[in-house]
Structure 1
Amino acid sequence: MLQSFYTAFTGLNAEKNWLSVISDNIANVNTIGFKAERAVFEDLLASSVTTYNNNSPKNKEIGGGVFVSSTVKDFSQGTFMNTNNPLDMALDGEGFFMVKSNDGLTYYTRNGQFRLDANGDIINMLGMKIQGWMLDDKGNMAGAISNINVAMSMDPKITKEVAFKEPSNLDSRVDVITSAFDPADSTTFNYVNSQTVYDSLGNPHTLSYFFQKIDTGTWKVYTMMDGSLIPVMDGATGQYYKDIILKFDDTGMPTSATLDTQVTLTQNESLTAATPGIFTLTNLPVIGSIHIKSVDGVTMNIHDLGDGDGDGKGDLVDDNGNVVGTVDYTTGTITLTGDLSNSTNLTVDYLNSEVAGTVAGDFKDILVSGYDPNTGATSPFQFTVNYNGMRQLASDFIFYAEQDGNSKGDLMSVSVSEDGVVKASYSNGKVRDVARLAIATFKDKEILVRKGSWLYLPNQQTFTPVIMPGGVISKVRSGMLEMSNVDIASEFINLITAQRAYQANARVITTDDQILQETMNIKR
């Protein structure tokens, strides 16, 4: 008789524990990344006796009740909520984000609420750092899994390579030009376009390309920086040349490049004026090549427009296009005017001593040698130009060239692609792939135990996860959060079931008490 009391009592305890699980699920209906728990009931056996009649077994089994032996997590994916915060992330598929605490312990979570701290580390709401692989300049994963850190600024990078890309095109239909090139005379070239390159301190410079068609399938290319003609170099000999001759085949593909017209590059020539404002160059300059870098010790950027009217003279202009002097190409005399007319010292770069002659080049690797205002002649501003992507077809001129330099930039924003690549955008217009998120999963996710605050740990540290980059087993959805997967309707049904089951077990105890009372009354 007393056994039934205890059997019903186990039912009360089991339903009470189930109510605790249900209430926990309902309480966490708004918890980001929460996974619902399901109670697992297991029966108890009070006695089991087997007897035989005519060699046939007869079982007598009396149950001892029930208990909640464990809970099972429902790892099905929750619905996504749009937050428009790029560092809010949700995993569309299997896996967990990996976060590391200050004591070096790695936790696993589906809660993708992250932010950038003052040091540039991506952290969760508990200050734990998200884990992944840092990427090198080429976007390759470098080193082991570590904290993801986004640089708050980007250092300047000197331009080392310029490359023409498709659909760059020189129009094959234009006329051949036979007159000598003069940057001030638009009739001496067919096409001009510019791009920005950067020196060692990140200062921008305007690099201009002048294309002159000299024969069928043959073009001369002149390069100017900040309005001054700069040479190309033969890397083997160190000799300078004024221009490049590009040749194309009958399909419009580049076939060869020749360095044309040998010149001398005079850098950092210091001149003193016998008469204020009037200076004489040591050598006669090539038209359009003069670049005055300083006047009376003050840094300047004055360049030569060229001889536009054929009188043997050219104007000198500053960055704002103001005429500040003239140059006589026949005497090498520079005359500064206006506010600079009383100057007595200047520093100048220019090309001189033209010599007929060519040398074979490589259209994929033309070395251009300009000037670096920060280092001068000690370290010329040199970069390669790759013309491999240039075409010559019967189509309009198209200019598209990429360069690898940049100015200093400050962090503007951070975004994450669906393959888990963290991208940083800087004020200099550059977007850098910084890192790639590490996503972990387990062969048996039931080894994970809740540690509170959205975190999980394996119940034994010997269980290691399968780790792979984002985008492999799941897509990373930036600007979204995964909501709790608790189904309110199901939980309410479970709540009613648990309540009725508790009442039923309580009725059993009441009935047992009544029967026991009747038994006690037999003595009367």
Structure 2
Amino acid sequence: MLQSFYTAFTGLTADKRWLSIISDNIANVNTVGFKAERAVFEDLLARSLTTFKNGAPVNTEIGGGVFVSATVKDFSQGTFMNTNNPLDLALDGEGFFMVRDNQGLTYYTRNGEFRLDANGDLINMLGMKVQGWMLDDNGNMAGAISNITVPMSMDPKVTKNISFEEPSNLDSRADVITAQFDPANSTTYNYVNSQTVYDSLGNPHTLTYYFQKIDTGTWRVYTLIDGTLTPVTDGNGNYYEYVTLKFDSNGNVVSAGSDTQVSLAQNEQDTGTNGAFTLANPPVIGSVHIKAIDGVTVNIHDEGDGDGDGIGNLVDENGNVVGTINYATGEIQLEGDYANSSSITVDYLYNPTAATATLDYKDITITGYDPNTGAQTPFTFAVNYEKLRQLASDFIFYAQQDGNSKGDLMAVAVSEDGVIKATYSNGKVKDIARLAIATFKDKEMLVRKGSWLYVPNVQTFTPVIMPGGVISKVRSGMLEMSNVDIANEFINLITAQRSYQANARVITTDDQILQETMNIKR
């Protein structure tokens, strides 16, 4: 009889633990990423006896009650809550985010409430570092899994590569032009457009392309940096005034070359009287730069031949006309404050010979020419014209370059495949890192550590780790809420309560029976 007391007591104990599990689930109904627990009941066996009657076995089994042997986690997907915070992340599918504490221990969590700290590290609300792969400049994962750090600024980068991209087009219906190219005379070219390029300090410079159709399917491309004509090179120390592009009948570039070789002249000095000078070699239109007059540094360049008479104006950095240049004879006449000058130092491009060059239209090098110093600059751009077309359609200019000025971090976004993108004040958007997502063959091996965190119950166990977007999509601006079903928990609560009451009644009944037994003696 006393055994029934203890059997009912195990029921009370099990129901009490079940109530604890239910109350924990209900209490965490608003906990981000929480996974509900389910109690596993196991029966106890007090006595088991097997006898035989007429050769047949007869079992006598008396149970000893019940106990909660384990809890099982419900890893089903929780509902998503929209937060509009780009660093609030939710996993749509399998897997866990990986975070690491200061001791180097890795935890796993479904809670994606992340933020950037003052150092640019991506952390959770506990200050643990979110794990992933840092990306190189080409967007490829570089190195092992590590802390994700978003740079707070972007260093300036000198432009090195320029490429024309679809739908760039030169209108094949344009008229052929036979006049000498002059950037100041719009009748000497068919189309002009420009893009910004950058030096090593992040200073912006304007690279301008002038397109001149000289024959059917044949175009010349002149390039100017900050208004100064710049040559192209074949890589063997030879420089050319322009690039000649030839297109086939389908409008594709098939070859590139040039037939006007030029040379770089630096620090050529000339003397004269009353501001009159004659250069030893006639310059190319738009290429003259006077960097010193009577030993004093100046910044004077020619504007080109605006009316076709072979004479161009010389202007200072404020656009004031300070003299003229005769491109045919090389004669310079300074005016105004410089009218009585006796010496000048000139840098320019000139035409010593006429030579034909074959160039690679996929890799044509433009050599910069600094109007402030008159010298060749570190501006060396590799230009790819491969995707430039010549079709019977309007002119379209679309060219990409890989340089940038200094930029400060403005915003961070995360794509569905877990790529963290940073937007900077210079307009650049850079792929910084890619989130690491871990999954386990048996998720029940995970042990709750509180604060949304899990660890494997075997320290040497290795999870399956893959980039975001492979087994689950990363939803930015959302959080996965608890998957606790309130209605189901209330039903379980009622069931646990009634079960507890029933076991209590068993103990009461046992007490009454024991009392009747005691009364037999009376």
TM-score (norm 1): 0.93
Secondary structure at the residue paired with 2:260?
strand
Structure-1 separation of matches of 2:307 and 2:112: 67
Alignment correspondent of 2:448: 450
In the alignment, is the contact (CA less than 8 A) between 2:287 and 2:301 conserved in 1?
Answer: yes
Change (3 A) 1:8 1:77: same
Alignment correspondent of 1:323: 320
Alignment correspondent of 1:3: 3
Structure-1 separation of matches of 2:142 and 2:310: 58
Secondary structure at the residue paired with 2:512?
helix
Amino acid at match of 1:402: Q
User: Is 2:424 aligned against 1:426?
Assistant: yes
Secondary structure at the residue paired with 1:62?
strand
In the alignment, is the contact (CA less than 8 A) between 2:40 and 2:72 conserved in 1?
Answer: yes
Alignment correspondent of 1:99: 99
Alignment correspondent of 2:253: 254
Residue 383 of structure 1 deviates from its aligned partner by 1.1
Amino acid at match of 2:325: D
Secondary structure at the residue paired with 1:498?
helix
What pairs up with 1:35-434 in 2 under 5 angstroms?
35-235=35-235, 237-267=236-266, 269=267, 283-291=281-289, 303-317=301-315, 322-329=319-326, 330-333=329-332, 335=334, 349-371=347-369, 377=375, 380-434=378-432
Cα shift readout 1:217-266 (whole Å, capped 9, x = no counterpart): 1111111111111000120x211110111111111111110123011123
In the alignment, is the contact (CA less than 8 A) between 1:201 and 1:374 conserved in 2?
Answer: no
Residue 424 of structure 1 deviates from its aligned partner by 0.8
Structure-2 separation of matches of 1:27 and 1:83: 22
Structure-2 separation of matches of 1:409 and 1:297: 39
Alignment correspondent of 2:472: 474
Amino acid at match of 1:122: L
In the alignment, is the contact (CA less than 8 A) between 1:271 and 1:279 conserved in 2?
Answer: no
Secondary structure at the residue paired with 2:382?
strand
Amino acid at match of 1:315: N
Residue in structure 1 matching 2:435, options 434, 437, 452: 437
Structure-1 separation of matches of 2:91 and 2:245: 52
Change (3 A) 1:416 1:446: same
Amino acid at match of 2:509: T
Q: Which moved more, 1:440-449 or 1:151-160?
A: 151-160
Amino acid at match of 2:440: F
Amino acid at match of 2:146: S
Structure-2 separation of matches of 1:302 and 1:14: 94
Structure-2 separation of matches of 1:53 and 1:65: 28
In the alignment, is the contact (CA less than 8 A) between 1:290 and 1:351 conserved in 2?
Answer: yes
Structure-2 separation of matches of 1:375 and 1:519: 117
Secondary structure at the residue paired with 2:35?
coil
Structure-2 separation of matches of 1:278 and 1:385: 40
Residue 346 of structure 1 deviates from its aligned partner by 7.8
Change (3 A) 1:260 1:473: same
Residue 291 of structure 1 deviates from its aligned partner by 4.5
Change (3 A) 1:488 1:65: same
Residue 353 of structure 1 deviates from its aligned partner by 3.0
Secondary structure at the residue paired with 2:25?
helix
Change (3 A) 1:434 1:349: farther
Residue 487 of structure 1 deviates from its aligned partner by 0.6
Cα shift readout 1:478-521 (whole Å, capped 9, x = no counterpart): 11110010111111111111111111111111111111111111
Structure-1 separation of matches of 2:483 and 2:12: 28
Residue 166 of structure 1 deviates from its aligned partner by 1.2
Structure-2 separation of matches of 1:403 and 1:436: 25
Which consecutive unaligned segments of at least 5 residues does structure 1 have?
none
Residue 463 of structure 1 deviates from its aligned partner by 1.4
In the alignment, is the contact (CA less than 8 A) between 1:285 and 1:351 conserved in 2?
Answer: yes
Structure-2 separation of matches of 1:345 and 1:136: 52
In the alignment, is the contact (CA less than 8 A) between 1:95 and 1:473 conserved in 2?
Answer: yes
Change (3 A) 1:8 1:412: same
Residue 304 of structure 1 deviates from its aligned partner by 3.2
In the alignment, is the contact (CA less than 8 A) between 2:208 and 2:223 conserved in 1?
Answer: yes
Residue 282 of structure 1 deviates from its aligned partner by 5.9
In the alignment, is the contact (CA less than 8 A) between 1:283 and 1:332 conserved in 2?
Answer: no
Alignment correspondent of 1:512: 510
Cα shift readout 1:134-172 (whole Å, capped 9, x = no counterpart): 111111111111111111111111111111111111111
Amino acid at match of 1:65: G
Structure-2 separation of matches of 1:485 and 1:43: 29
Structure-2 separation of matches of 1:96 and 1:296: 73
TM-score (norm 2): 0.94
Change (3 A) 1:257 1:10: same
What pairs up with 1:477-488 in 2 under 5 angstroms?
477-488=475-486
Amino acid at match of 2:220: K
Residue 302 of structure 1 deviates from its aligned partner by 5.6
Structure-1 separation of matches of 2:53 and 2:212: 113
Which consecutive unaligned segments of at least 5 residues does structure 2 have?
none
CA RMSD of aligned residues (A): 2.5
Structure-2 separation of matches of 1:39 and 1:297: 93
Residue 326 of structure 1 deviates from its aligned partner by 3.6
In the alignment, is the contact (CA less than 8 A) between 1:209 and 1:222 conserved in 2?
Answer: yes
In the alignment, is the contact (CA less than 8 A) between 1:278 and 1:333 conserved in 2?
Answer: yes
Change (3 A) 1:324 1:477: farther
In the alignment, is the contact (CA less than 8 A) between 1:232 and 1:259 conserved in 2?
Answer: no
Structure-2 separation of matches of 1:463 and 1:215: 71
Amino acid at match of 2:99: V
Structure-2 separation of matches of 1:382 and 1:498: 79
Structure-1 separation of matches of 2:283 and 2:441: 75
Amino acid at match of 2:255: S
In the alignment, is the contact (CA less than 8 A) between 1:16 and 1:502 conserved in 2?
Answer: yes
Residue 80 of structure 1 deviates from its aligned partner by 0.5
Structure-2 separation of matches of 1:14 and 1:299: 94
Structure-2 separation of matches of 1:21 and 1:332: 97
Cα shift readout 1:54-112 (whole Å, capped 9, x = no counterpart): 11111111111111001000000100111111111000000000001000000000000
